[in-house]
Amino acid sequence: MNCYVTAETAPGETRAALTPASAAELIKLGLTVRARSGLGTAAHYADADYTKAGVILTEDHAAALADADIVLRVRKPPAEDIARMKRGALHLSFLDPFNEPALLAAFAAAGVTAVSLEMIPRTTLAQKMDALSSQSSLAGYSAVIEAAQRLRMVLPMMMTPAGTILPARVFVVGVGVAGLQAIATAKRLGARVEAFDTRPGVEEQVKSLGAKFVKIELGATGQTAGGYAQALTPEQIAKQQAGMAKICAQADIVITTAKVFGRPAPRLLTQAMLDGMKPGSVVVDLAVESGGNVASSRPGEDVVTPHGVTIVGHHCIEGTVSHHATQVLAANFAAWLVHFWDVKTKTLRLDSPDEILRGCLLTRGGVVVHPQFQKAEGQKG
Ligand code: NAD
């Protein structure tokens, strides 16, 4: 079978879906691996190392797509790429399926089997292929580093002959994978860290990292069977904002990571709360791409409020550490293919009643097969 890994075309995307190491794994399975020349350059993986691993580099994108049984890429494809693929071929990438009904329809119309990285269940068995986690973890780290670079302060306490510098105060809102890594990174840099999440059970994780859990009484919250947060009512959001305002006013850095799977991110920091923050403080909105947790955050931009608070709304903050983001992402792709690979027939086993497959397979055989997206596509759910 032929596997083709495209170079990313989205502006600012620095990651790739293949490393020389992951290519070697795929080739060991028996796949012929082609990749677009230069695909790893922005993440510092050299063409020569791909070639050494056995990858066939190509400049002919259209021919490689048309010939591929499996296509790997980080971001969703342009429509013309879907139309060029073979019927029955597999496409594996992030797809943003809740917001892309037309893309799913195009995959179905082309008879392409589309798999969404976002929809891989967050189970122990699927951990190796969990791209949301691998990227979120680096996003949490990068959020602290990006904030620290913009803050005109140091993070640790320093006792100097000229006086004592107090530790910076960091507030992390949303303690999933990204939030936990942000807490750990800020603690390593010596900051005083507080955190809040609506999911029960997070308090212990926050404390185990040496941070303080902020208690805000919201009434019943809860989480889905998949471990995701449930959306709050407008009254609960208002209570949360009131509880957070004082902590934000004292913070030097606020990192927001609050997301509700499949829905727009909750708006948690209002303009009034930003106005109440110290001039020079920095807010990093990791939910900026899914609607934003912070009033006036903008994807891909730093916004400085009239009051001097910097709001960082990076498009893809893990792209600032693209070498490692690519390393783990490529390993996620390889793990997915290894899991579904039949060593005897040297083909993918996509007919099994596998729980992981049921979660992430969106289109197959000319139709949308995932029940969550069938209605959006106009099929019977
Ligand atoms: P996410 O990106 O969906 O959300 C980030 C965090 O925001 C979550 O902790 C969520 O509870 C929180 N949040 C939502 N609304 C909020 C609000 N109003 N205020 C404050 N916080 C709010 O989450 P994620 O990092 O993708 O993790 C989702 C779940 O999956 C977690 O339970 C995590 O432990 C679990 N998980 C399991 C595995 C595994 O078992 N293999 C792997 C990764 C993640």
CATH number at residue 259: 3.40.50.720
CA dist list (Å): 131 to 77, 89, 163, 265, 317: 17, 21, 45, 19, 15
**Residues of the chain predicted below pLDDT 50:** 377, 380-381
The pLDDT, as a whole number, for residue 376 is 52
- Give the helix, strand, coil percentages of the chain, each rounded to 5: 40, 20, 40
Cα–Cα distance measured from residue 2 to residue 71, given in angstroms and rounded to the nearest whole number: 9
Cα–Cα distance measured from residue 260 to residue 268, given in angstroms and rounded to the nearest whole number: 13
Q: Alpha-carbon Rg of the chain, whole angstroms?
A: 22
Please state the pTM of the whole predicted model.
0.95
Domain of residue 230, residue span? 137-315
Domain co-membership, 70 together with 203: no
Domain co-membership, 35 together with 88: yes
Domain co-membership, 357 together with 284: no
For residue 129, is it within any domain? no
For residue 26, is it within any domain? yes
Q: Is 164 exposed, middle or buried (0-12, 13-18, 19+ CB in 10 A)?
A: exposed
Domain co-membership, 308 together with 327: no
For residue 128, is it within any domain? no
The pLDDT, as a whole number, for residue 228 is 87
Domain co-membership, 180 together with 265: yes
The SS3 call for residue 200 is coil
**DSSP designation for 41:** G
For residue 375, is it within any domain? no
Active site annotation includes 228:
yes
Instruction: Please write the tens of the pLDDT for every residue from 156-208.
Output: 999 999 999 999 999 999 999 999 999 999 999 999 999 999 997 899 999 99
Domain co-membership, 204 together with 258: yes
The pLDDT, as a whole number, for residue 381 is 37
- The closest alpha carbon to 302, from 290, 287, 322, 285, belongs to 285
For residue 14, is it within any domain? yes
CA dist list (Å): 359 to 114, 117, 126, 363, 371: 12, 10, 11, 12, 10
Q: How many domains, the chain?
A: 2
Residues in Cβ contact with 60 at an 8 Å cutoff, skipping those fewer than 6 apart: none
Domain co-membership, 158 together with 299: yes
Nearest CA to ligand 1 atom 44: 122
Token representation of residue 3: 């596997």
Active site annotation includes 135:
no
Cα–Cα distance measured from residue 273 to residue 173, given in angstroms and rounded to the nearest whole number: 14
Domain boundary among 290, 315, 340: 315
Domain co-membership, 195 together with 306: yes
The SS3 call for residue 43 is helix
For residue 373, is it within any domain? no
CB atoms within 10 A of CB 46: 12
Q: How far is the CA of 37 from the centre of ligand 1 (A)?
A: 36
Cα–Cα distance measured from residue 172 to residue 208, given in angstroms and rounded to the nearest whole number: 15
Domain co-membership, 206 together with 263: yes
- The closest alpha carbon to 228, from 182, 194, 177, 181, belongs to 177
Give the binding-site residues of ligand 1, using a 6 Å CB cut-off: 122-124, 127, 130, 132-133, 136, 173-179, 196-199, 227-229, 232, 240, 257-261, 266, 268
Cα–Cα distance measured from residue 39 to residue 3, given in angstroms and rounded to the nearest whole number: 14
Domain boundary among 283, 299, 315: 315
